[in-house]
Structure 1
Amino acid sequence: MRFAYVTYDGPDDDREVLLAAWRRAGAEGAAVRWDDPAADWDSFDAVVVRSPWDYILRRDQFVEWAHKVESGTRLFNPASVIERNTDKTYLRDLGVPTVPTHWIHPGEQVALPHQAEYVVKPAISAGARDTLRTADRATAEAHARDLVAAGRVAMVQPYLDMVETEGETSMIYIGGRFSHARRRNAMLADVVPADHRAVPARDPGPDQFALAEQVLAEVGEDLLYARVDLVRLPGGAPALIELELTEPYLFLSTTPGAADRLTTALLTRL
């Protein structure tokens, strides 16, 4: 079998780890840029989206690419999932506890609720791109106004102090089963480690497992991989901050056995 590891021209320390796991399983793997015009996607038995982390500037093109690839071979995760998941408005439709969000669409009035601190970001974004954290309401409104003026949907959320102490809990599921979890510092925290890999393992609590399972049940798709990012609200209850189903970093290089589990799950689906 031949598998494509969909990536970009940049660092990705999970890349060689998963390619090695594919070789151990007797499969041939190749790292291929998602926007490589010479790529013959139909020649692969499976195309696995992993680190196309520059797609955010060309999201429509990326979604079109996903549907085109899926018309000729197996794509993981599916193109329909990728299309929904690359626009954070999916958070409104899941029916699970999420971080409280005020949505502003182009053409709507920009009037923000009063709160201690704001996080303002576009609905289509990654890696905290075009995201602002501020305690100044006027500054937050100005950023939201700029986003909607550019035709983008703005998300306004309260900044949660608990990300400074507890951090985010990233729960990684492989083939529909829980694999491992990590404690991550939010990108807008006051202190963020320079090395994104320097994050400790975490044992999620029963309430976090319950919410993660509820989130994945709401998706209702057979997912090869998923990363459920949770935070705790001021009262202590867990809430979904993001559901990463397109190109999440999965900590494969720092989690023994995870790449082999992902490989087994892929082979099972084929």
Structure 2
Amino acid sequence: MSASAARIDAPPVSGEAVYELTSVHKTYARNQVIALEDVSITLRKGSFSSVIGSSGCGKSTLLKIMAGLIPPTRGRVVLRNKPVTGPRRDIGMMFQQATLFPWRTTIENIVLPIEIRDGRAAAEKAKEKARELLEIVGLKGFEDVFPNELSGGMAQRASICRMLITEPAVLLLDEPFSALDELSRDTMNMELQRICNEQHATAFLVTHSIQEAVILSDQVFVMKPRPGRLAEIVDIDLPRPRTLDMMTTPKFGELVDYIRSLLDKGEDL
């Protein structure tokens, strides 16, 4: 794959801008470490984007800023035309572990954000939507079981439902399937693609897997370390819906090799 096919100023994915970061910097005051430098990202409605880079390149810092958990040192962070100054209802977050409360049933875990935000009556009302989401992710019939009765993949499906129950404008995914075995991870990635397509969701994934980034994404943001900054934005022009069979095609291999070459260059800086 030639460099001209994946320029940093490549045309963005079509659709209105939902989330925009402009010239974002982050310096940690305690030790003056520059975690991010001049990072600009635009997420378009209905798009799936990934960020990939070596450990210590600022991916986690970037995600925390996007989630409103920490502020940037300078720069502009805007979701749906409103500055992100802290955690918001329209930001959905999914972590590496399912983090379901063991004393609550599946459906009770799913409506928990509604209960915290609006009270028990609202959570009870939200159970109808929770059941619809459970059916979408293939967990119909598991509404009243407890987390210890769910496999790792099933628990993460429940976590997807909990993320979607508040109808967020953007989904932030922190390596959600990294704890699963390879086969389960591939299955869950295909499920995540299907769910995002059905929900017309705008998603942003942090991952260490080049293959995962390529099979899921419309765009891959490749980061350089020390300080964290964008190397290139790689457009993934594979047809949708994606299938696991695509991972054996020459085009997929070219994309993976190109991104790996960018990461190798970043390590030499």
Q: Fold-level match, TM-score > 0.5?
A: no
- Between 1 and 2, higher relative CO (CA 8 Å, sep ≥ 6) is seen in 2
- Normalised by the length of structure 2, the TM-score is 0.31
Structure with greater proportional helix content: 2
